Chains A and B, each alone.
Chain A
Amino acid sequence: MAAQAKHDWADDDDLDEITTELPPPQKIQNKDGSTTIIEYRLNDNGQKVKTTRRIRYITHREVVNPRVAERKSWAKFGASAKDGAGPMPDTTSVGENIIFRPSMNWRKDAKNEDKDPNAQAMKDKLKDKKVKCRICNGEHFTARCPYKDTMAPIGEAAGADVAAGMADDEQSGAAGVGAAGAGKKGSYVPPALRGAGGAAAGAGERMGGKYGERDDLATLRVTNVSEMAEEHELRDLFERFGRVTRVFLAKDRDTGMAKGFAFISFADRGDAVKACAKMDGFGFRHLILRVEFAKKAQ
């Protein structure tokens, strides 16, 4: 009793481990056809290690030419006469994985890979920079901000509420820009947003668009478009409502398949409103289109 009392509780485990024998390996047949093998061993530090392996054997059947099958059973000869069955590591090894996908513009793909060093340098440069949201100052990209639809960027607090509704309504959009332009005296206002009055601001806004003349107000965003869709099909669909000035169908560069969304610009906003109402929920190529007015590009 006294001897036992001398043992610290912390030593107890160690004693146990030294005294216990390794349990015998177990083989368990699982219900799903696999086998579980549990083995025990002592590692270099004398610790007990339990290894559990689950193995499933899959028999792969292949029908081959009988002559090919016969050749597989041939005895080896020459320098390989002493080799056992299966590939020998001294003559046969497996190389690193090579990705080979034929492509018409593989040269461009390869070039992108070449550019990688630059991308790496850029990455290194930006490594210490923290991502900061312009809306809420959180650690995420502005585009991912949960408040992006309800709040304007911090610097534009004055026009915040109106700016949010900018794309939906011409009137408020123009006013919003006007407010943003006029509200912040002394701060830099990009040329696209400059202008004193509401009308001028509207004109400036239009010119500031990425594609110059594009009228975002009569542009519809169509989502849930089938992968197989073609631009001309969309044009046919939407032309019924009025003159379509532009159809843009996003396509995957490699596969040439549509990405699932498109933009349709109308010459007249009234037509766009009509098209939006009629085509939202329209069944096209086994998918149901979702049509809404495009948000203004930020």
Chain B
Amino acid sequence: MRPILLSGHERALTQVKYNREGDLIFSTAKDQQICAWFAHNGERLGTYHGHQGAIWTVDVDPTSTIIASGSADNTIRLWEVKTGKLLKTWDFPTAVKRVEFNEDGTKLLGVTEKRMGHLGTIVVLDIKVDVEAEQSDEKALTIVCDESKATVAGWSYLSKYIIAGHEDGSVSQYDGKNGDLLYNLPVHELNQPITDLQWNHDRTYFITASKDKTAKLISAKDLEVFKTYVADTPLNSAVITPKKDYVILGGGQAAMDVTTTSARQGKFEARFYHKIFEEEIGRVRGHFGPLNTVAADPTGKGYASGGEDGYVRVHQFDKGYFDFMYEVERERQNKLAAQGAGN
């Protein structure tokens, strides 16, 4: 495969997101613009200007009408996808590290940083998915994380739960309606922050990436850990691939630690694991720095990764990716095919 390199940012990437149909890619970096790209050829659709600080996060609603972004300038902003127009700004006391729409795009959650005497919070905003509509200023819900600040958060299926990953390596489940804390389980090593949390297609389970060098597949309903993927480097991002049962992990030594450790190059690779068998099945090289974010094309045809080096690399998988199967998988397929023929 020949990756497409997108060089629209001058600083390290912070998040890359595909829209629902997988034809647009949104990328944010520590410079102050959001870029929108066409996934099929890497053409840049446009940029969204207005933030006054590093942008940590972006998310697009399911209809690809509006995007939300969270930034170190203590705001969440809402933009019209098509024109790049700023629709709404919400101000917060501290930086916003993560935003995510729920399944139907009517709610947006934001994770705010713990700083300057303010505790970390998860806020929920009601959104009208319409570029003409007046968005409400009110926060529908505020969850205060008084024990350990949340680093990432997301909406489960049917917006039933809000799942948050914390700095101390625990994952907690909040009620999506009233924000009550239902569970808090230490799934990752103590005090190793969770760096990413991404859902499978129906949001019944999710994958977390942590600095403790593991990624875990966890049920949204009862926070049961299904699978653990062990890597040899701190992880910044993890994603579940549609169509094929793989997960992609991205990581690498933190940029600030690279010079303090041995000169050994690398670990700046996207690692592919088999989702079920938890075994590493391959790596994709390319970035010159740690991978800060990986995103999977919802159509299953490719993935994009954003690195500390400022590049987004968009990959379209080859045939070998789709053909690869474990022996048991192949046997099962043959058996099913035989059964189908028998009927």
Contact = CB atoms under 8 A, between A and B. Distances in A.
Interface of A: 64-65, 67-68, 71-72, 74, 76-81, 83, 86-88, 90-98, 100-104, 106-107, 110, 256
B6 A101 contact: no
A91 B6 contact: yes
Given A67-B21, A95-B4, 11 more contacts: A71-B23, A72-B23, A78-B33, A78-B49, A79-B44, A88-B43, A88-B44, A94-B4, A100-B284, A101-B320, A102-B320
B282 A101 contact: yes
B279 A71 contact: no
A98 B1 contact: yes
Given A68-B21, A78-B47, A256-B327, A102 B272 contact: yes
B44 A97 contact: no
Contact of B282 (A79, A94, A96, A100): A100
B281 A67 contact: no
Contacts of B42: 87, 91-92, 94
B64 interface: yes
A76 B320 contact: no
B324 A102 contact: yes
B157 interface: no
Contact of A71 (B64, B282, B326): B64
A88 B286 CA distance: 21
A91 B44 contact: yes
B176 interface: no
A95 B313 contact: yes
A117 to B, nearest CB: 15
B38 A103 contact: no
B155 interface: no
A92 B246 contact: no
Nearest to B40: A72
Given A65-B21, A100-B320, A76 B44 contact: yes
A93 B7 contact: yes
Main secondary structure of the interface of A (DSSP, over half): loop
Contacts of B38: 71-72
Contact of B5 (A79, A93, A102): A93
Contacts, number: 125
22 contacts: A71-B82, A72-B38, A77-B46, A78-B33, A79-B44, A87-B4, A87-B43, A87-B44, A90-B7, A91-B7, A93-B4, A94-B2, A94-B3, A94-B4, A94-B5, A98-B285, A98-B315, A100-B1, A100-B282, A100-B321, A103-B281, A106-B283
B82 A74 contact: yes
Interface string B310-342: 000101011011001011000000000000000
B127 interface: no
Contact of A103 (B6, B45, B282, B318): B282
Nearest to B277: A104
Interface in B278-299: 279-286
B243 to A, nearest CB: 13
B84 interface: yes
A147 B262 CA distance: 56
B84 A87 contact: no
A97 B3 CA distance: 7
B331 to A, nearest CB: 12
Contacts of B321: 100-102
Most chain A beta-carbon contacts within 10 A, residue among B3, B44, B82: B44
B45 A76 contact: yes
A76 B324 CA distance: 39
B205 interface: no
B285 to A, nearest CB: 7
B37 to A, nearest CB: 8
A79 B4 contact: no
Contact of A95 (B3, B41, B49, B64): B3
Contacts of B174: none
Most chain B beta-carbon contacts within 10 A, residue among A78, A81, A88, A101: A78
Nearest to A74: B82
Nearest to A79: B47
B5 A92 contact: yes
A67 B327 CA distance: 40
A93 B2 CA distance: 10
Contacts of A110: 283
A79 B48 CA distance: 8
Nearest to B284: A100
Contacts of B284: 98, 100
Given A94-B2, A94-B5, A104-B281, A79 B318 contact: no
> Which 8 residue pairs of A and B lie closest in terms of their CB atoms, listed nearest first?
A78-B47, A77-B46, A92-B42, A101-B320, A102-B324, A78-B46, A102-B281, A77-B84
Contacts of A87: 4, 41-44
Contacts of B48: 78
Nearest to B39: A68
Contacts of A256: 327
A104 to B, nearest CB: 6
B306 interface: no
A93 B43 CA distance: 10
B24 interface: yes
B105 interface: no
A98 B41 CA distance: 17
A92 B4 CA distance: 7
Contacts of A79: 8, 33, 44, 46-47, 49
B83 interface: yes
Interface string B131-153: 00000000000000000000000
